[in-house]
Amino acid sequence: MLEQLAQDAQIASYQLATLSSRSKNQALKAIINQLVQHQSAILAANQLDIAAGKEAGLTDALLDRLLLTAERLAGMCQDIEQLIALSDPIGEEYQGKQLESGLFLKKRTVPLGVIGVIYEARPNVTIDIACLALKTGNAAILRGGKETLNSNILLVKLIQTALVEVGINAQAVQLIADPDRALIYQLLKLDKYIDMIIPRGGQTLQQVCVEHSTIPVITGGIGICHLFVDESADVEKAIAVIRNAKVQRPSVCNALDTVLIHQSIAYEFINRLVPALAADGVSFRGCPQSVAINATCQVAQASDFDTEWLSLTLGIKVVDDLSKAVSHIRAHSSGHSDGILTQSLKSADQFVAQVNSAAVYVNASTRFTDGAQFGLGAEVAVSTQKLHARGPMGLDALTTYKWIGIGDGLIRS
């Protein structure tokens, strides 16, 4: 049955691939209309999920992610309006040239085909991914968290109604509504029909996908992020950047996890940083040297430097020099966002050259790693792997290209 669903999605993708931008935008407008018209039904379905979630003892944070309100729905509709306004990457032709053989060769941007997205209990992601996929002419198979099933079933039904209204195959967007986890493993083997899997969730989900999928997987969204305070750093500015990176929104992947500090300024810097951030509620896990400098720091366990805190905890480690900072980052970073705070051009260049994370910063907060901040207009996910797309993935990341060769009875000699 899952195979049938995937096959249907592939068939729908053939139609999607040849739609004009206008048709795709009409579909997005029809989705907005459905969301507006059926707002009370959506909120009611969502309340069923919320009630079940409370009964199941979900944390307040999870319940908040799960919750839809009139205001949030309006925000989602605004996001779709913005998506409509973005230019459509599909159908662009480039690098066209006449080769020596006489062949006229060009590349054309085309949809990937069918994308499978596995995500947690956030009903807004259902709308988000479906719309990003449609905008780029891809079919989508959605597998949301079971806690949000009532919301998702209705949302996907409304999307499908909108698609049919504008003459698009409803199976272009499909939900795996059965909460059985075994279906995830089945999904990951359907490489005959699905072109890309995006797991939007924690380390365990990512690992399951990497280990079991025969479909290419875009891993990401896990940020063990570092800032290195070089000996020449401007202390005031450095503390401001570290505070922003740690405190502004600690629960997200681009929040700071570990500060590395050049030993030559460690004493002064730690004794200014720790009280400044403690005032914001930050607690510290330090290497022995930093604990010796400021006893507010607890002694870090080895695993602390491999932890994505997602909270107001901050690791602190004193390092001998920039090279040691780079070594630490190579060993412990998840390749998401890492930066240097320095006044030295040489140090900045060396750090940028040697740290191979998706986003590398000089004197700026790691919090900038985000599709909207990067001006991409939309964000599909944040990739921390190196193939196809790195860092915040915009609409382009849902496309590929084909080579088109044109001759007039042309043969290879």
Contact positions with a second copy (CB under 8 A) in 151-210: 191, 195-196, 210
Q: Segment contacting a second copy (CB under 8 A): 30-38, 44-52, 141-149, 394-402?
A: 394-402
96 is a site residue for a second copy (CB under 8 A): no
Binds a second copy (CB under 8 A): choice among 4, 18, 37, 82 = 18
237 is a site residue for a second copy (CB under 8 A): yes
Binds a second copy (CB under 8 A): choice among 44, 51, 74, 103 = 103
∠ CA 5-9-15, nearest 5°, is 150
Residue 255 is encoded by which pair of tokens?
């929040």
CB 197 within 8 A of CB 188: yes
| Cα–Cα dist 316/80, whole Å | 41
- β-sheet bridge partners, residue 261: 229, 318
- Residue 235: alpha-carbon gap to chain centroid: 32
Residue 196: what are its φ and ψ, rounded to 5°? -155, 140
Torsion sign across C-alpha atoms 364, 366, 371, 373: negative
Minimum distance of a second copy from residue 45's CB (angstroms): 34
Q: Segment contacting a second copy (CB under 8 A): 60-68, 78-86, 96-104, 120-128?
A: 96-104
Minimum distance of a second copy from residue 200's CB (angstroms): 17
CB 225 within 8 A of CB 366: yes
216 is a site residue for a second copy (CB under 8 A): yes
Minimum distance of a second copy from residue 139's CB (angstroms): 13
Binds a second copy (CB under 8 A): choice among 7, 161, 248, 264 = 248
303 is a site residue for a second copy (CB under 8 A): no
CA distances (Å), origin 149, targets 112, 131, 199: 27, 19, 18
In the complex with a second copy, the residue whose CB is nearer, 148 or 333, is 333
Place of tokens 């509709």: 77
Binds a second copy (CB under 8 A): choice among 7, 21, 39, 400 = 400
273 is a site residue for a second copy (CB under 8 A): no
Q: 359-388: which residues touch a second copy (CB under 8 A)?
A: 359-365, 367-369, 373-375, 385-388
Per-residue x/- track, 313-342, a second copy (CB under 8 A): -----------------x--------x-x-
In the complex with a second copy, the residue whose CB is nearer, 181 or 388, is 388
In the complex with a second copy, the residue whose CB is nearer, 48 or 103, is 103
In the complex with a second copy, the residue whose CB is nearer, 290 or 357, is 357
Pairing of strands 173-175, 313-319: unpaired
62 is a site residue for a second copy (CB under 8 A): no
Number of residues that bind a second copy (CB under 8 A): 75
CA distances (Å), origin 230, targets 263, 290, 330: 9, 16, 17
22 is a site residue for a second copy (CB under 8 A): no
Alpha carbons within 13 angstroms on the beta-carbon side of residue 340 total: 29
Please name the residue ranges forming H helices in 60-137. 60-66, 70-85, 123-135
Minimum distance of a second copy from residue 217's CB (angstroms): 8
| Cα–Cα dist 151/156, whole Å | 9
CB 318 within 8 A of CB 309: no
Residue of 395, 247, 399, 218 whose CA lies nearest to 313: 247
Minimum distance of a second copy from residue 272's CB (angstroms): 15
Minimum distance of a second copy from residue 59's CB (angstroms): 26
